[in-house]
Chain A
């Protein structure tokens, strides 16, 4: 199986200041909320040292007053001499407010930051989507749909994680750690430093753990992607798989991918399995240091019992932030990779856009000229060379030729999906690069070879987003292409949902729907890439009829596969290997006995039976006996 999933899996460094600066730009509109969250988490972090300290105060002042009693004067004055009252003061006057404050701070910072994350995500998605609407078609040729979808969805989500639980939480962890360490140093700097001696060890262990987990998570992600791709494909192609007795081999392949997934996870279990106990052992080591070293200090009278108890509590607390920080590292790394991909997309220049000073195109006549046009999709492979022809207003021009002759490319250039490399395409004698894309394209109605339907309703597929098309016009368009009867037979009529891009409709119905779409937009010029797929004669008849009405009284450019279109064309352009080889009417070209004649013999001869019906009508077939 393919192993090209890795492309998306390359993780770079965890921190790239250039990317980070650019990412932080997105926080700018929400700086107030961000600042608020930042202050909240800072205060929250500082409050985390309070419970331990109050514990010490209670023990040293009331429970075991033998040790040192050096309390800050403010506290000493405030606290009652009566132990019962004092304890109540500590609990309810000092401790309880911090508890609620802490609650409020944690909640509001989390809410604020997650909301900021959502808003940033909204902005980013909007920006990416907008950029996609502007990028030239050649970009979409190079990038598979799935990959681009990922940019708008998954990659943005990863960034959300960073904003919502990453950036600010890092400060929170840091301040918690810092405030605990400061209080410990303040209480007894010697014992504090001794206790801190476990910190380097935990940092090293955490780093090692992080590396191991990162590697196995990378493998897990690859494995999950492969499992999903494999399942998706094999469920879709299940009948082929069964027809060719592939079950056992497919199972073996699947089992292998499944195993890789399981093994990658086992590695991560191993990493976690080693990490958690190691952290606990270190916690015990810290307690051991406090008890033993503290015991020595207590003997010398330089350590109170309360301080020892507070130290033990603190020592249990400062591992959490370090572990969290290491989780954030993974988050940061994923976010860097995602943002790099997103920015790469956003930085892809738009090469086909409106000119700086567009020429007006107010009352277009609808004349199209290809003047010595040369074009290549890829560097050297010329698809069109020196192509010249004109479509006069009112004309129907049919383009014929073998597959790969460059027929579809003509429409791509006319709509400026791509720009010509040589020569020019002119619309009403204006180079199409000199007018606004919108002004140009709104003159055309296009019917693609493969009719593309959107999820929505029948009506929304005819109208698309063009609000100016009235219901009556939608109806009229459907009637004109002979689709009205079918639509009205549907339970919900025009509001019948179209699911999964028209999976419930036949090929012919989809074609007719796309005819109706083009018609409803009432274009000056119709561009039609006829479908090659063979349909049954009834549908063929409907399609042909629809087609006839579509091009009636309208300038059209038709990439023709149907004889009827060709015969009725004002002009036929014969393309061969990127060149225009013959131009003329059907009869002229047949008499010429050139390429058209040959093409006709090979390609169009067999499609004639449905056409015949149109020419003669089914009833008037000569009786044979």
Chain B
């Protein structure tokens, strides 16, 4: 078990001093605490012998002193030991997030967001429970158990044996039922997620539901799940309802034994009435440690399982990093891109083959081709969203892996195919990569991407919130915001991955014209399905099943009379058709 706890060592080692302090507090508070029943015993015996009140006052005074000392240390114990677990949780969560930010997109295509979220929430919490309450209550159980039981043995060892007899069953019951409760609970949680997802789908697809008159069918499906949920819960309720009464039953039986055996011992003169009373109190002292024994075992079991799952995140090594960067790396890029006999495979499939392409700094290259021809992968290699094999991709003649990621990406303005905006203000979204940008720069970027007038039209202008909690932007507005975000970086390399698909031709022309101005002398790579977008590029590359099928200028490609020419010709023919109309 210790072996499996090893990953936590750095987190716990940090708080070694505090752990020691916490355990000292625990030791003091609980060893002092077990004196309380002894004082009660003295008090009762005194009371039974009708001694002077002065003596009782002394007992009461001691009782007060002892319980105050206990209380003070008990406070520090909780504050320190549980506090550590919150600190360690905080550290772990920070480290997890930091690690996640180092993992490449490949990791995120292979791991679902939902699963990651569940690790970061449920599993982290289970680990926290193990290192906080888990550790504290284990120690507590040991200390209270040892102290209480040894004092009880000291008072009357035969009665102790009798009284303690039912208690191991309590721990066993807690452990046994606890594990089953957890098991069933997990299943119910899974069902609950399904139910939640079902409701979410129903609401998200409400138009379809209504349009196809599916209300009753939806109701029926939901009802089946709802009913199943109740049924599954029944299995859990059965156990949870059983557990506590069973524990109470065991303790009552222990108490019963004390009544019988203790009574006999008093009558036989083996113990005093005070001892008999103290035994009753000690028994209540043991309730929680005995329960905790079973509970903690489950906490630790769950915690270990969760720790294992958390570790899978840490074990995922960032596959795209700066390990090949030399001591004195480049700091500035001109934007000269060269693919040198590049072959790129993903999960065994060759996505790109024999790519030899040089894009001199300052030039504009357009990439066309059918879906799945590898266009997005090709441009994704440039900011190293995916890693090209060593030596096959060079920027300014430097192998791309020798350029620090930060430097590389700093010089690239990338507008991905699927626009992702953060739920912040438009302003924040535009200056995502340039936190120090001025108002004027933000506005200029919005102007270039032809979205400024629309932003001006929003009541809160640039301070408009984006996303579910704010304004829902149209596809075109989102794309143009993403373009602003890229151009505000004043990048050496601008990549538009089909980034104008949701804007109309007129807007597109405006944007391209304005971009041409700012991007003079910069490298631009365009992916598009529209001929109008690409015809003015310095070079047009046609990708077909991962290979360059055609390349050249608009005129050259037309002369080549291949795929590109076909696209263009179709456009021409249509125009001719139109003239006849």
Additional A-B contacts beyond A149-B196, A615-B573 (18; CB < 8 A): A2-B424, A95-B255, A144-B469, A148-B199, A153-B196, A238-B103, A240-B432, A242-B409, A251-B98, A269-B83, A287-B40, A287-B63, A455-B197, A501-B201, A527-B211, A611-B574, A612-B573, A622-B573
B105 touches A238 (CB 8 A): yes
Q: How far is the CB of B160 from chain A (nearest CB, A)?
A: 18
Minimum CB–CB distance from B478 to chain A (whole Å) comes to 12
Contacts of A129 in B (CB 8 A): 199, 202, 219, 222, 226
Is A17 among interface residues, defined by CB-CB distance under 8 A? no
Which of A1, A231, A232, A251 lies at the interface centre, i.e. has the most chain B CB atoms within 10 A of its CB? A231
Q: List 23 A-B contacts (CB under 8 A).
A: A59-B273, A64-B266, A91-B259, A110-B244, A114-B237, A118-B233, A122-B230, A129-B222, A129-B226, A132-B206, A133-B202, A227-B93, A231-B97, A235-B117, A262-B90, A273-B75, A280-B67, A288-B64, A454-B205, A506-B371, A535-B529, A537-B567, A613-B570
Given A91-B256, A284-B64, A466-B212, the answer on whether A533 and B502 have CB atoms closer than 8 Å is: yes
A269 to B98, CA, bound (A): 27
Partner of A532, one of B260, B385, B502, B570: B502
Which B residues between 208 and 257 are near A, CB-CB below 8 angstroms?
208-223, 226-227, 229-230, 233-234, 237-238, 240-242, 244-246, 248-249, 252-253, 255-256
How distant is A564 from chain B, measured CB to nearest CB, in Å?
A: 11
Q: Decide if A243 touches B86 in the complex (CB within 8 Å).
A: no
Pick the interface stretch among A70-78, A324-332, A387-395, A600-608. A600-608
Closest to A518 in B: B212
Q: Are A88 and B260 in contact (CB under 8 A)?
A: yes
Q: Give the CA-CA distance A594 to B575 in the complex, in Å.
A: 18
Contacts of A194 in B (CB 8 A): none
Bound state CA distance, A245 and B432, in angstroms? 9
Tell which of A87, A149, A287, A402 touches B260, judged by Cβ atoms closer than 8 Å: A87
User: Nearest CB to that of A238 among chain B residues?
Assistant: B108
Q: Convert A96-121 into 0s and 1s, putting 1 for each residue whose CB lies closer than 8 angstroms to a CB of B.
A: 10011011101110110011001101
A231 and B120 contact, CB distance less than 8 A: yes
* Given A309-B44, A616-B573, A245-B199 contact (CB < 8 Å): no
Complex interface bits, A439-482 against B, C-beta within 8 A gives 1, otherwise 0: 00110111010001011000000001111000000000000000
Judge if A12 is at the interface, Cβ distance under 8 Å: no
Using an 8 Å CB-CB cutoff, how does the interface string of A516-543 with B read, 1 for contact, 0 for none? 0100010000010000111111110000
Neighbouring A residues of B387 by C-beta, 8 Å: none
Please give me the residue from chain B that is nearest to A602 by CB atom. B506
A51 touches B252 (CB 8 A): yes
Decide: A235 and B409 in contact? CB cutoff 8 A: no
- Contact of A298 with B by CB under 8 A: yes
- Please count how many residues in chain A sit with their CB below 8 Å of the partner chain's CB atoms: 166
In the complex, B324 has a CB within 8 A of chain A: no
Taking a contact as CB atoms under 8 Å apart, the answer to whether A114 and B117 are in contact is no
Partner of B245, one of A110, A236, A535: A110
B385 lies within 8 A of A137 (CB): no
Asked whether A294 lies within 8 Å of B47 as measured between CB atoms, the reply is: yes
Contacts of A618 in B (CB 8 A): 566
Write the A23-46 contact mask toward B (1 if CB under 8 angstroms, else 0): 000000000000000000000000
* B101, A251: Cβ atoms closer than 8 Å: yes
Determine if B241 and A403 form an interchain contact, defined as CB atoms under 8 angstroms apart. no
Q: Assess whether B219 is in contact with A273, with CB atoms less than 8 Å apart.
A: no
* CB-CB contacts below 8 Å: A121-146 with B: 121-122, 125-126, 129-130, 132-134, 137, 140, 144-146
Pair A245/B433 contact, Cβ less than 8 Å: yes
Interface with A: B48-56, B292-300, B303-311, B391-399, which one? B48-56
Given A90-B259, A106-B245, A107-B241: A59 in contact with B581 (beta carbons within 8 A): no
Q: Is B473 an interface residue (CB 8 A)?
A: no
B536 contacts chain A at the CB level, 8 A cutoff: no
* Contact A258:B94 (CB < 8 A) given known A59-B273, A277-B70, A299-B50: yes
Which of B70, B121, B256, B468 sits near A96, CB closer than 8 Å? B256
Distance A445 CA – B50 CA, assembled complex (angstroms): 95
Tell me the smallest distance from the CB of B351 to a CB of chain A, in Å: 16
What 6 A-B pairs have minimum CB-CB distances, sorted nearest first? A465-B217, A244-B433, A277-B71, A612-B570, A284-B67, A608-B574
Q: Given A235-B116, A285-B64, A536-B371, A465 and B82 touching (CB < 8 A)?
A: no
Output the nearest chain B residue to A88 by Cβ-Cβ distance.
B260
Asked if A308 and B94 make an inter-chain contact with CB atoms under 8 angstroms apart, the answer reads: no
- In the bound complex, how far is the Cα of B47 from the Cα of A66, in angstroms? 12
B212 touches which of A107, A126, A305, A521 (Cβ 8 Å): A521
Name the segment of B1-9, B276-284, B547-555 touching the other chain.
B276-284
B360 in contact (CB, < 8 A): no
User: Does B539 sit within 8 A of A, measured CB to CB?
Assistant: no
What chain B residues lie within 8 Å of A4 (beta carbons)? 469
**Residues of the A chain whose Cβ atoms lie less than 8 Å from the Cβ of B10:** none
Q: Does B312 contact A (CB under 8 A)?
A: no
Is B440 interfacial (CB 8 A cutoff)?
A: no
Contact assessment for A269 and B196 in the assembled complex, using a CB-CB cutoff below 8 Å: no
Asked if A152 lies at the interface with its beta carbon under 8 angstroms from chain B, I say: yes
Knowing A239-B416, A244-B432, say if A308 contacts B47 (CB, 8 Å). Answer: yes
A380 within 8 A of B: no
Docked-complex contact B72 and A292, CB < 8 angstroms? no
Is A272's beta carbon under 8 Å from chain B?
yes
Chain B residues whose C-beta falls within 8 Å of the C-beta of A126 in the assembled complex? 222-223, 226
Report Cα–Cα, A223/B150, bound state, in Å.
45
Residue of B nearest to A607 (CB): B530
C-alpha spacing A122/B234, complex, angstroms = 12
Nearest CB on B from A368, distance (A): 15
Residue among A100, A149, A244, A246 with the highest chain B CB neighbour number at 10 A: A244
**Contact string, A405-430, partner B, CB cutoff 8 A, digits 1/0?**
00000000001010000000000000
B77 shortest CB reach to chain A, Å: 8
Interface centre among A273, A276, A278, A402 (most CB of B within 10 A): A273
In whole angstroms, what is the CA distance A480 to B369 when docked?
Answer: 27
Residues from 218 to 240 in A contacting B, C-beta threshold 8 Å: 224, 227-229, 231-240
B35 to chain A, nearest CB (A): 11
B74 surroundings in chain A (CB, below 8 A) = 273, 276-277, 280
Q: Which residue of B lies closest to A514 (CB)?
A: B208
- CB contacts (< 8 Å) of A605 on chain B: these are 505, 575
Bound form: Cα–Cα A448–B469 in Å:
24
- Residues in A neighbouring B502, C-beta threshold 8 A: 532-533
Residue of B nearest to A270 (CB): B79
Chain A positions 332 through 356: 1 when the CB is less than 8 Å from some CB of chain B, otherwise 0: 0000000000000000000000000
Q: Is B438 an interface residue (CB 8 A)?
A: no
B234 touches A103 (CB 8 A): no
In the complex, the chain B residue whose C-beta lies closest to that of A441 is B213
Q: Are B214 and A251 in contact (CB under 8 A)?
A: no
Q: How far is the CA of A309 from the CA of B561 in the complex (A)?
A: 105
Say which residue of A100, A119, A262, A602 sits within 8 Å of B87 (CB atoms): A262
Closest beta carbon of chain A to B41's beta carbon, Å: 11
A292 B212 Cβ-Cβ under 8 A:
no
**Is A114's CB under 8 angstroms from B240's CB?**
yes
Are B211 and A99 in contact (CB-based, < 8 A)? no
Contact of B331 with A by CB under 8 A: no
Q: Which of B341-376 contact A (CB under 8 A)?
A: 369-371
Q: Is B571 an interface residue (CB 8 A)?
A: yes
Which residues does chain B contribute within 8 Å of A146, judged by CB atoms?
Answer: 200, 468
Q: Are B424 and A466 touching (Cβ within 8 A)?
A: no
Inter-chain contact B67/A55, CB cutoff 8 Å? no
The residue that B273 contacts in the complex, of A237, A305, A521, with Cβ under 8 A, is A305
| B157 CB–A CB distance under 8 Å | no
User: Which residues of A have CB within 8 Å of B60?
Assistant: 288, 291-292
In-complex Cβ contact of A110 among B199, B217, B241 (8 A): B241
Q: A265 in the interface, Cβ–Cβ < 8 Å? A: yes
Which listed residue, B240, B281, B485, touches A316 by the CB 8 Å rule?
B281
* B90 CB contacts on chain A under 8 angstroms: 258-259, 261-262
Contact with A along B475-515 (1 / 0, CB 8 A): 11000000001000100000000100110111000000000
